[in-house]
Structures are given as structure tokens and as C-alpha cells.
Chains A and B, each alone.
Chain A
Amino acid sequence: LREARFGGLVTHLFALRAFLPDAIGDARCAGLSASRDLLREELDRLFIKLRLPNYVIAARDVETPSLRSALEHLAREAGAAHGVPTEPPGGTFTLWGSYEPSELQRLGERFTVAPLATALPWAALARLLPDDAPVWASYRRLLIDSLQRFDESESQEFIDALQRSRDPALDDALDEILSSLHSLA
């Protein structure tokens, strides 16, 4: 994540990818694996393209129909999930979070009508970030607020923000969670 600081809101898409949960609720969440693979594919490519001088982000760099479909499936599954995932084997540091399922259900229902490369799927993923420590809760709240501002925006407005819109408080919050992770290592 320290290598993926690009000066716009796009930095935080890499954080969403990095902190995508390994488990949601007490049952198997099939949408997680597909979402992880497709997020990785999409954001790895974007990570490389952003190393090109003056690269202008395009809608297809942010979201493809297959990624949208996987994220929609994930949002619906997360909206219907309940319970707590099994504790991972000992020796592992685990980040935990909780969310309001009805919120994800509501967002999931809007996926079919929202155009590609808009903020909606990322706002849904932000709700799956950990929040069991104050630094994490703060980052999650700030990121949700930041993405919420583009709730009604066209994709081009969101893409412009990904490229250019700096949110120093949000960036600082990300720095804080990275520092807290470093202190654990």
C-alpha cells in the first residue's frame, strides 16, 4: 500500500482490495473468492498503468462488467450473511469488523442500475473494512463518507476524483492504519 500512493482517491481502492475480508458471517461466502481475483486483476493493471507518466484513468481501468457482477454477488451475500466467522488458527493476527447487513442489501439492490465505474461498489466494499480498533473505525468512516459524496455522480466525475481529488484526512487515516500494522509486524 505504501507503493500504491497516487495522489487521488484511487489510493483507497488499493486499500479496499488489500483489506477485503477473508470471511463474512458464519457460512461460506462464495462471492469473496471471485471478487478477490477480479479486484486483483483490475487493480494490478491499474497499479502498472498509473506508473505511466501523466496516465489518465479510464472507466475500464476502474471496473469491468465481470468485476461488477462479482461485487454485486458479494454485496448480496454480505447483505444476507449472519453470525461470526470461525477464529483463524492461532498465531495469526486477525482484523475484525461488523456492518449493518440491511445497508449492504440496499446498496446491492442498486448495482444493477448503477453505471460501471461509479462509486457504488467501492462504497459497498468500504463497509466490509475492519473497524474493531479506533484507527480502523476512523478510516472506514472517512472512506465511506468520501465515497458517499459521489453517490449520485456520473462515472466521469468519480474517475476525475480518483485521479485528482486529495483528501488529506483520509490519507492520514490510511497512514495511521499502516503504521499500526507495522507496529504489529
Chain B
Amino acid sequence: LVVLVALVVLLAAIAVAASLYLRARRPIATKNAAPFSQEFAGLSAAQRVDFIFALAAVDEPSVLPLLEGALADPDEAVALAAARTLAQVGETARLDRFFAEHRGERARRIAESLELLA
């Protein structure tokens, strides 16, 4: 009986530990964008464009802030790549927000180019 109780307690402890581990992992996945962003900023413009195109194939919401942030990239081609990728993955609300907040010449050019690609 003592062995049986010990086994049940052990199994319960394993279940609790597993659940805590899985819960702890979830936030790590969504926080991935931060180190990602640091690496991204260190790339050349051409590499940033390639990086963004590669993200189009990643079905992971944590990459969306990076794409949204890239709309303000100093290089307009990188911003256009981000805009196209956001449009491609159906994140038009983020694009609309960007164009609503940025009404300058640069945003206009990006919007026009995006329309050409649509």
C-alpha cells in the first residue's frame, strides 16, 4: 500500500511538473521576437529583405510585430517587403494602422508600390 501511495504521489508530481514546464514554455515562444529583432537590425538591407520574405512562410504570430516594425525600416525596399508580406499573410489591419499613422511621401510611395504588386 505504501508503495502504491508513493507511486501515485510520484505520478501526480510528474503531472504537475509537466504542466508547469509547458506553461513556462508558452511565453518563451511569444517572446522570441525580441532577440529576433536584434539580429534583424544587424543584417544588411538585402539580408533584411530576404529575412522578411522567409517570414512569409512562418505561421507564427510572434513574427508579426517584427514585420510591423520593419515598415519603419530606414530602407524603403525593406519596408515595402514588410508591407507586401503583411498583406500576403492577411494582416491588413496592421498595414492600415501604419498608413493611418504615417501620411508622408514615403508611406505614399510604399502604398503605391504595394498596389502595383497587388
Contact = CB atoms under 8 A, between A and B. Distances in A.
Contacts of B113: 3, 48, 51
Nearest to A44: B117
Contacts, number: 28
A106 interface: no
B77 interface: yes
A48 B81 contact: yes
A45 interface: yes
A47 interface: yes
A96 B9 CA distance: 79
Interface string A85-125: 00000000000000000000000000000000000000000
B20 interface: no
A47 B53 CA distance: 13
A149 B107 CA distance: 41
B77 A49 contact: yes
A48 B75 contact: no
A44 B84 contact: yes
Interface residues of A, number: 9
Interface string B102-118: 00000000000100110
B117 A52 contact: no
B49 interface: yes
A52 B53 contact: no
A119 to B, nearest CB: 24
Contacts of B49: 45, 48-49, 52
Contacts of A55: 46
A52 B75 contact: yes
Interface in A42-69: 44-45, 47-49, 51-52, 55
B117 A47 contact: yes
A48 B80 contact: yes
Nearest to B82: A48
A47 B81 CA distance: 10
Given A3-B116, A44-B117, A45-B53, A51 B84 contact: no
Interface of B: 45-46, 49, 53, 75-77, 80-81, 84, 113, 116-117
Interface of A: 3, 44-45, 47-49, 51-52, 55
25 contacts: A3-B113, A3-B116, A44-B84, A44-B117, A45-B49, A45-B81, A47-B117, A48-B49, A48-B77, A48-B80, A48-B81, A48-B84, A48-B113, A48-B117, A49-B46, A49-B49, A51-B76, A51-B77, A51-B113, A52-B45, A52-B46, A52-B49, A52-B75, A52-B77, A55-B46
Given A48-B49, A52-B46, 6 more contacts: A3-B113, A44-B84, A45-B81, A49-B46, A49-B77, A52-B77
